[in-house]
Amino acid sequence: EVQLVESGGGLVQPGGSLRLSCAASGFTFSSYDMHWVRQATGKGLEWVSAIGTVGDTYYPGSVKGRFTISRENAKNSLYLQMNSLRAGDTAVYYCARVPRWLQLPDYWGQGTLVTVSS
Amino acid sequence: QSVLTQPPSASGTPGQRVTISCSGSSSNIGSNTVNWYQQLPGTAPKLLIYSNIQRPSGVPDRFSGSKSGTSASLAISGLQSEDEADYYCAAWDDSLIVVFGGGTKLTVL
């Protein structure tokens, strides 16, 4: 069974940093691209970043230069380093598995809440 | 403002057929495939339709997808109360970002 478990969320002050983790199991982690997608309370889904099997990374302009996605295949883990956090980054952050042939998420974790507030 | 445009709401009565549209441009829907996701209240999104028209195993055939030009649609036939959820379309854009629709809240009356 595919499982994605996010952790590392919490309350952080504006300008602060936070590192999210996603523990994957039930599939060959190294063979899949992985994405982070966020959702502010009562709002829609917003794509945050993607990493390919060979470590290629992609970001939207809203987080480029502030967020860094990475992976550690030996630990079946995905990470999101978030710096210079703003109130607008407050959201539930989901990690998602992405088959190469599909190019978009097929399985999602349950999410971890990040709150940026003073 | 989402790159892909969906109606904010849709509704229908049990047994009815409902369609949700997703409008994009030549750089996203026009040149890449579309996925649809269902998000039940308080839960993570679930893949409903992939590659424009395909259903993952376990998704009832009441759900169907289509794409024409720069628009895509999700149709739900034989509407059931458990279909009440938020629905999102998604696609890659040629600028190497993933874009989502703003979501459509489906109410079963």
Which among B33, B44, B97 is the nearest to A108, CB-wise? B44
Nearest chain B residue to A95 by CA distance is: B44
Are A112 and A23 contacting, i.e. CB atoms less than 8 angstroms apart?
no
C-alpha distance from A12 to closest chain B C-alpha (Å): 23
pLDDT band per the 50, 70, 90 thresholds, residue B1: confident
**pLDDT at residue B36 is higher than 90:** yes
**pLDDT at residue B2 is higher than 90:** no
Residue A94 one-letter amino acid: Y
Could you tell me how far CA A103 lies from the centroid of its own chain? 16
pLDDT band per the 50, 70, 90 thresholds, residue B8: very high
pLDDT at A73: 97
Could you tell me how far CA A89 lies from the centroid of its own chain? 12
pLDDT at B34: 98
In this complex, do B50 and A102 lie within 8 Å of one another by their Cβ atoms? yes
C-alpha distance from B96 to closest chain A C-alpha (Å): 7
B50's CB contacts (< 8 A; 6+ apart) are A102, A104, A106, B33, B35, B36, B56
In 3D, which of A26, A23, A22, A24 has the Cα closest to residue A2? A26
Nearest chain B residue to A111 by CA distance is: B44
C-alpha distance from B94 to closest chain A C-alpha (Å): 12
C-alpha distance from B73 to closest chain A C-alpha (Å): 17
Q: Cβ–Cβ contacts within 10 Å for residue A89, how many?
A: 22
What is the spatial distance between Cα B52 and Cα B91, in angstroms, rounded to a whole number?
10
Could you tell me how far CA A48 lies from the centroid of its own chain? 7
In this complex, do A44 and B96 lie within 8 Å of one another by their Cβ atoms? no
Q: Which of A45, A48, A107, A113 has the highest number of chain B CBs within 10 A, making it the mutation to test binding with B?
A: A45
Taking 70 as the pLDDT cut, the residues of chain A under it are none
pLDDT at A92: 98
In this complex, do A44 and B33 lie within 8 Å of one another by their Cβ atoms? no
pLDDT at B39: 98
A62's CB contacts (< 8 A; 6+ apart) are A46
A47 touches chain B (CB under 8 A): yes
B40-77, pLDDT tens digit by residue? 999 999 999 999 999 999 999 999 999 999 999 999 99
pLDDT at A102: 92
